[in-house]
Amino acid sequence: MTDTALKPAPINHWLNGKLTPGTSGRSARVFNPATGEVQGLVDLASVDEIGAAVEAATAAAARWRTVPLSKRAEIMFRFRALLDAGRDDLARILTREHGKVHADALGEIARGIENVDFACGIPNLLRGGYSEGASTGVDVYSIQQPLGVVAGITPFNFPAMVPLWMIPNALACGNAFILKPSEKDPSASLFIADLLQRAGLPDGVFTVIHGDKVAVDALLEHPGVAAVSFVGSTPIARYIYQKGTEHGKRVQALGGAKNHMLVLPDADVNMAADAAVSAAYGSAGERCMAISVVLAVGDVAGELVDAIASRLPALKVGPGSDAANEMGPLISREHRDKVAGYIGSAAEQGATIVVDGRAQEFSGNGFFLGVSLLDHVTPDMDAYRDEIFGPVLCVVRVPTYEAGLKLINDNEFGNGTAIFTRDGGAARQFQFECQVGMVGINVPIPVPVAYYSFGGWKASLFGDTHMYGPDGIRFYTRTKVITSRWPDPAGSRVDLGFPQNR
């Protein structure tokens, strides 16, 4: 093998409709999590490069906002068709850089496509309102107009789906969009950029700028960026919101989670166990909607723990390129080791390790960790308090429904939760009483469909609007109200009185 073959591939920015090498002189390594090998070097933008990207996007936005809604919808329809046709190729990119198995990658893309479907209806979504005859000879109507240049800062765990929560609505509303993807798995964003160009999106309307904190701060501080969307951890979400709003921007920042699944004694134990395993270990637990805590009420606890544990030996963990595997590696060696540390600390603090993922052996240098199940976890333990973001499921035994509900409502996060029961009255009471933004009833991962909106409460969301769906349209537009009259000039007169409806 030649030296050239061993050299990591460069991963450039997407500016003005083409791949553009960075000029900062800085780059970051992109790993294949299944092998531990460096496979790419992604450019990291400087403040000047961010400025140039915003300038180009500003010029493009001025032209794009004049494009008719029917034309924007046509481009979204073409983009949707190209994305559908290319989903296997995109899934392979996700597997190569993130590590998730191919089937999981395809699921991520399918949920992303739902948001393109929604944006295809932009002529209907931007209809506005009209009141004829609000006063004598006066009509009042409202219109929704784009903000200009908007930016998205997206996480490593869903490098295709989360950008697609933002991009279709932002573009369809008439904005230019700058995407700053995670530097850990940046190539999916370039695949999307190419599809948008092939769909007919004018150059400069969509930009991909890679980077780290330098790029993030530059976007937050640049006066030409009107709004910022973010998904990531709570400390960073809080920072994004505070810094962005300090600089006069509209900000929606989705943070972390600690999602509980409350299992009542009347629940179907096998169904609850299947759901807990699926929701805890899918995507290697690296998703903000993962169930990380099962609250087992009363006598159901022992049977439920046994049922969950019995399912774990059959899970196939390995490289995502192997279709037989159900769970891939974690994103990095450092993150794998951090997650493993929670297993040890839980045992030291009094939890029972029912299944220890650290004991599973894997060949090679990939960032693998087996699945873990912890029982007798208590709220004072690190494994309960922190968002682990890995394949670790904690079981907390509670005596009553009320005790379980209190733990959910007392938690600093309020992203997602679920209840498993056969009692419709208990389920209805739960959906009313729980202080969480997204609730599942016998559904472990209640991610809303694209024509609703995604977002939690409390420390899981900073800002006034949720992501995608109707809230996405509201976030990427501002309302203008027009009061119109076409009087006979002969009847015109001076009137210093307060305007009245009469």
pLDDT tens by residue, 64-81:
999 999 999 999 999 999
Does the pTM exceed 0.85? yes
Q: What is the pLDDT of residue 304?
A: 98
Residue range 288-321, pLDDT digits in tens? 999 999 999 999 999 999 999 999 999 999 999 9
Q: What is the pLDDT of residue 490?
A: 78
pLDDT at 96 over 80: yes
Residue range 346-383, pLDDT digits in tens? 999 999 999 999 999 999 999 999 999 999 999 999 99
Selected catalytic residue, list 120, 288, 394, 434:
288
Residue range 147-190, pLDDT digits in tens? 999 999 999 999 999 999 999 999 999 999 999 999 999 999 99
Instruction: Give SS3 for 59.
Output: helix
- Known catalytic membership, residue 288: yes
pLDDT at 143 over 50: yes
Identify the CA nearest to 428 among candidates 447, 413, 442: 442
Can you tell me the distance from the alpha carbon of 41 to that of 169, in angstroms, rounded to the nearest whole number? 30
Instruction: Give SS3 for 392.
Output: strand
**Beta-sheet strand order (sheet of 259-263):** 352-355, 372-375, 392-398, 291-297, 259-263, 416-420, 438-441
Element (H, E) at 197: helix 187-198
Can you tell me the distance from the alpha carbon of 140 to that of 10, in angstroms, rounded to the nearest whole number? 54
How many C-beta atoms surround the C-beta of residue 45 within 10 A?
26
Percent of the chain with pLDDT over 90: 94
Residue with tokens 């774990």: 312
Residue range 208-237, pLDDT digits in tens? 999 999 999 999 999 999 999 999 999 999
Q: How sure is the predictor about 7, in pLDDT bands with cuts at 50, 70 and 90? A: confident
